[in-house]
């Protein structure tokens, strides 16, 4: 009687372990929804532009803090929309996020341009 119980416990342990490996592989292979990827990439690109502007002296600390806060709010909005729709965002949510990111992008461009010209 002891042997069958030990075999069952061993089989359950192996199947649970392999299931977690399969789930981990599935999560790693799923790059996310294309709309989410596009918006997240835009947020990251703008963050990189702000960081580059700070390192080049084109954007001051106050402007950078304001830009970081705006980008943080956009990321939070994306996360909220994503959670609301089961890991996706709708076209209208993407459109609204992109509109706000376009405005932020213009702001960053103007800050960097003004900072570059002030040093001349």
One-letter-per-residue 3-state SS of 17-63: HHHHHHHHHHHHHCCCCHHHHHHHHHHHHHHHHHHHHHHHCCCCHHH
What pLDDT is stored for residue 16 in this prediction? 47
Model confidence at 34: pLDDT above 50: yes
Q: What share of the chain is helix, strand, coil (3-state, %, to 5)?
A: 85, 0, 15
What pLDDT is stored for residue 117 in this prediction? 84
Model confidence at 23: pLDDT above 50: no
The pTM assigned to this predicted structure is: 0.71
């Amino acid at each position: 009687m002891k042997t069958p119980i030990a075999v069952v416990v061993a089989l359950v342990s192996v199947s649970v372990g392999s299931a977690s490996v399969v789930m981990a592989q599935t999560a790693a292979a799923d790059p996310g929804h294309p709309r989410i990827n596009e918006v997240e990439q835009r947020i990251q690109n703008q963050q990189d532009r702000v960081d580059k502007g700070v390192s080049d002296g084109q954007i001051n600390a106050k402007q950078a803090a304001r830009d970081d806060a705006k980008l943080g709010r956009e990321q939070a909005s994306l996360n909220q929309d994503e959670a609301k729709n089961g890991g996706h965002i709708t076209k209208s949510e993407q459109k609204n996020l992109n509109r706000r990111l376009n405005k932020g992008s213009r702001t960053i461009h103007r800050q960097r341009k003004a900072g570059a010209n002030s040093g001349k």
